[in-house]
Amino acid sequence: MANITIPKKLDPIVQAFFAESPKAAKNLIIQAAKAIYGAEEERDHLTYSMKRQHVITDEDIEDICAFMQSIKPLDILEAIIAAQITVTHMLGMRKFASGITEDQRLGLKMIQFSSDSMGKLQKKRSGGMQSITINHNYNGTQQVIPTIPMEICC
């Protein structure tokens, strides 16, 4: 497999999938949230405050950790896909909960993207096959070319 470059903002989340302890994973997730939201370093024992009114509580961090643990990536490529799923889901839920209609539409699209990406990850894991049938109409007579199985990467 070719060398894969992990996007800088996704790197802490990718690392969190392979962290040695839940505490290390939690610290990486907090670091990722700061990178995603653009952090201002305000913290008390219960809340991590981010600029632009984004607040991530310990409960949110625990939910994100549980969500990430349910994905269980098998390799670095799956970890990158899983990180994208996590980030789009997290941001989508935040936008969807907003009172602004445009933000809610964007949030719904992000949640749909996250769901579609999860399906593609499942297809990759199961060695999903796609069949293509070609119908060719030549001089008014239709010919069906046999199904061609194709392996789907992602």
134 DSSP β-pair partners = 145
Rg (CA), the chain: 20
Can you read off the two tokens belonging to residue 51? Answer: 């600029």
Other CB atoms within 10 A of residue 103 CB: 14
**So what's the pLDDT on residue 47?**
54
Tell me whether residue 119 is in a domain.
yes
**Is residue 135 assigned to a domain?**
no
- On whether residue 102 sits in a domain, the answer given is yes
Which pTM was predicted?
0.66
Q: How far is CA 122 from CA 8, 15, 78, 127, in A?
A: 25, 21, 10, 9
| pLDDT at residue number 50 | 43
Residue 75 falls inside a structural domain: yes
Between CA 56 and CA 48 the distance in angstroms is: 5
Q: 152, 135, 121, 127: which is closest to 17 by C-alpha?
A: 121
Domain span at 19:
11-127
144 located within any domain: no
Q: In the prediction, which pLDDT does 154 show?
A: 45
- 54, 32 contact by CB (below 8 A): no
Total domains, the chain: 1
Q: Is residue 133 part of a domain?
A: no
What pLDDT, on the 0 to 100 scale, is given for residue 141? 64
pLDDT along the chain (154 residues), means of 10: 75 88 86 64 49 65 83 89 88 83 91 90 78 60 55 48
Domain contains 2: no
Position 61, amino acid:
I
Burial of 139 (0-12, 13-18, 19+ CB in 10 A): exposed
The phi, psi pair for 134, rounded to 5°, reads -110, 120
**Within-domain flag for 113:** yes
